[in-house]
Amino acid sequence: MSDLSEKVVLVTGAARGIGAAIAAACEAAGAEVIGVDRDPCGGIVADLAEAEAPGRVFAEAMEQAGRVDGLVNAAGITTRASFMDADVERFDALVAVNFRAPFFLMSEMIRHLKERGTAGSIVNIQSMNAHCGVADLAIYAGTKGGLQTLTKNAAQHHMADRIRVNGINLGWVATETEAALHAADKGPGWLEAQGEQQPLGRFVTAQECAAQAVWMLSDASAPMTGVNVDLEQWVVGAPP
């Protein structure tokens, strides 16, 4: 059973979409949740694009709860850019939010758990694009591939510290942001039609991702670490 009773979990990107679903699922599993977002989320308001944000966020979490037992890096941006039209501004913005911020939040978390001498768990929300990605998500795919590698690196080198680090390579999910994005350029109903064409006749849901994240955070998934789960409706390497 995925029980998070008496655990404090820090969740980034908690104001909407995947992050909000994970925060709600963690609370339902018994955790005290500290949400983080650049928009009001009932927790810590911070823009993770700012270099000092991870340190400040963790300090505020410590002030609120006195400890952190679990971390979910769910915040991310999906600004589109290919090798043909990318610019330094978009590159730096994607790296700052999707790669630098998770790295330093993981750093704060690992240092905190080592100082406490206690076990803990980190879950990184990645993307199926980490395997390659479509052309106009080249930079985004690179940041998610980098985060996947950080997941394995942290898991390997802090296994003896009883700090477990796992990731979810998330596929296509029909979040509110996704619906608004496609409605603007493809018209209402397009996203729903795409869902009907998936193998399950629908998209993977934010709640299904959240359930996996809660399980990874909980003791029920121990001793699993360094695992990146593909949560999508196709298998990498399978014939088309």
Residue 200 structure tokens: 């399950």
> Reading across the β-sheet that carries 32-37, which strands appear in turn?
44-45, 32-37, 8-12, 70-73, 120-125, 163-170, 228-231
Say if CB 127 and CB 139 are below 8 A apart. Answer: no
Question: Under 8 Å CB-to-CB from 173, ≥6 apart: which residues?
Answer: 17, 18, 203, 204, 205, 206, 209
230: which strand partners?
Answer: 169
Question: Which residues are known to be catalytic?
Answer: 140
Through-space distance between the first and last CA atoms of the chain, rounded to whole angstroms: 36
d(CA 25, CA 125): 15
